[in-house]
Amino acid sequence: MHGFADKLGTLMRNVATTFGRSLTLLLVVFLASPLRSEEPVTAKVKPGQVIRWTGSSLLSCSLGDESWDPVDEACWYPLDLDVTGDLELVRRSTGGVASRRVQVVDYPYPEQRLQVEEKYVSPPADQLDRIAKERAKVDALFEQRTPRRFTLPLASPLAKLPAGGRFGSRRVFNGVPKSPHSGADFSAATGTTVFAVADGTVALAEDQYYAGKSVFVDHGGGLVSMSFHLSQMLVDEGATVKRGDPIGKVGATGRVTGPHLHFGLRWLGARVDPELLIAQSKPQDIR
Ligand SMILES: [Zn+2]
């Protein structure tokens, strides 16, 4: 009897171990497999768009290698102007993992032809080093991930926001095609006050070759706002700003055709249409 009990005990332990291993293996296979890769396309989206997927008890949102926190009971997915193909949007909630497939459509933004000073189309050799340094500094800024300090929708950068924007337009300067318009242009008189769209830290405030006098604010959560071509910067690098604080004055510095505010947003590295997140926020909802 004693021996039988021993054998039974050993057998049960073996079964338990084998079962445990199988379960682990099963879990590993499940986690390693692509998430419902054959699922149908939920929505068609434009590059430069922001997608909102609302839900409850959300823990995190992810796309590719990057994960971030939900905002207001929703996962928001900023899509860069250059994004193409099908995307797998993933979110985790207390209920588990879910995903949606969206298809980025080939959307040719309108062409915009502009005349500017020739030095902004073919910069002089002695400015190339400066331009490269400014670009490197700005690119590093877009990589920063600090805790989120913004709420949505964002405040307006101008007391009265005129229509327009022309985000994404394929721009041709003096007949030469250049990179697409990564922000929105709002016409306003020189001296008009520009406001912070959310709480944040002034990450950069300097006079740049193309952007002119410009203020970059890091709002945390991977969101950076940019105000270009200012006549005056009212904040210093490193300063803490609150939503609605004056940060600069509209001007015509850098590569411009006249006074206006160029306002841009980078969210998790993506160039997105700022008008989708300001005031009457208009992201594309999916279910
Ligand atoms: Zn612009």
Q: How far is the CA of 173 from the centre of ligand 1 (A)?
A: 12
pLDDT digits (tens, 9 = 90+) for 51-83: 999 999 999 999 999 999 999 999 999 999 999
pLDDT digits (tens, 9 = 90+) for 90-135: 999 999 999 999 999 988 888 989 898 898 888 999 999 999 999 9
Would you say 245 and 232 are in contact if contact means Cβ atoms under 8 Å apart? no
Beta-strand ranges (E) seen in the chain are 41-45, 50-54, 58-63, 66-68, 74-78, 85-93, 96-104, 111-114, 170-173, 176-177, 183-187, 193-195, 200-208, 212-218, 223-233, 240-241, 246-250, 260-267, 270-272, 284-286
Q: Is the pLDDT of residue 193 over 60?
A: yes
Q: How far is the CA of 77 from the centre of ligand 1 (A)?
A: 23
In this structure, which amino acid lies at residue 52? R
pLDDT value for 23 = 52
CA dihedral 176, 182, 188, 193 (to 10 degrees): -140
pLDDT value for 8 = 53
pLDDT value for 279 = 77
The residue ranges of every structural domain in the chain are: 1-33, 41-104, 111-282
Q: How far is the CA of 171 from the centre of ligand 1 (A)?
A: 10
Q: What's the CATH number for 41-104? A: 2.60.40
Rounded-to-integer distance, Cα 243 and Cα 228, Å: 18
Q: Which residue has the tokens 């445990």?
A: 20
Would you say 88 and 99 are in contact if contact means Cβ atoms under 8 Å apart? yes
Q: Are strands 111-114 and 170-173 parallel, antiparallel or unpaired?
A: parallel
Confidence of residue 22 (pLDDT cuts 50, 70, 90): low
Q: How far is the CA of 107 from the centre of ligand 1 (A)?
A: 20
Q: Is the pLDDT of residue 206 over 90?
A: yes
pLDDT value for 5 = 53
Q: How far is the CA of 212 from the centre of ligand 1 (A)?
A: 11
Rounded-to-integer distance, Cα 285 and Cα 277, Å: 13
Q: Is the pLDDT of residue 218 over 90?
A: yes
Mean pLDDT of the chain: 89
Q: Is the pLDDT of residue 156 over 90?
A: yes
Q: How far is the CA of 73 from the centre of ligand 1 (A)?
A: 32
Q: How far is the CA of 185 from the centre of ligand 1 (A)?
A: 5
> What is the tally of helices (H) and strands (E) in the chain?
2, 20
Question: 102 or 2, which is more confident?
Answer: 102
Angle at CA of residue 184, ends 178 and 186, nearest 5°? 120
Question: 177 or 232, which is more confident?
Answer: 232
Q: How far is the CA of 8 from the centre of ligand 1 (A)?
A: 77
Q: How far is the CA of 45 from the centre of ligand 1 (A)?
A: 23
Would you say 193 and 161 are in contact if contact means Cβ atoms under 8 Å apart? no
pLDDT over 90 percentage in the chain: 71
Q: How far is the CA of 188 from the centre of ligand 1 (A)?
A: 13
Confidence of residue 178 (pLDDT cuts 50, 70, 90): confident
Confidence of residue 1 (pLDDT cuts 50, 70, 90): very low
Q: How far is the CA of 49 from the centre of ligand 1 (A)?
A: 17
Query: Quick one: fold of 111-282?
Result: Glucose Permease (Domain IIA) (2.70.70)
Q: How far is the CA of 267 from the centre of ligand 1 (A)?
A: 17
The pocket of ion ligand 1, defined by CB under 5 A, consists of 183, 185, 262
Q: How far is the CA of 125 from the centre of ligand 1 (A)?
A: 24
Confidence of residue 281 (pLDDT cuts 50, 70, 90): confident
Q: How far is the CA of 184 from the centre of ligand 1 (A)?
A: 6
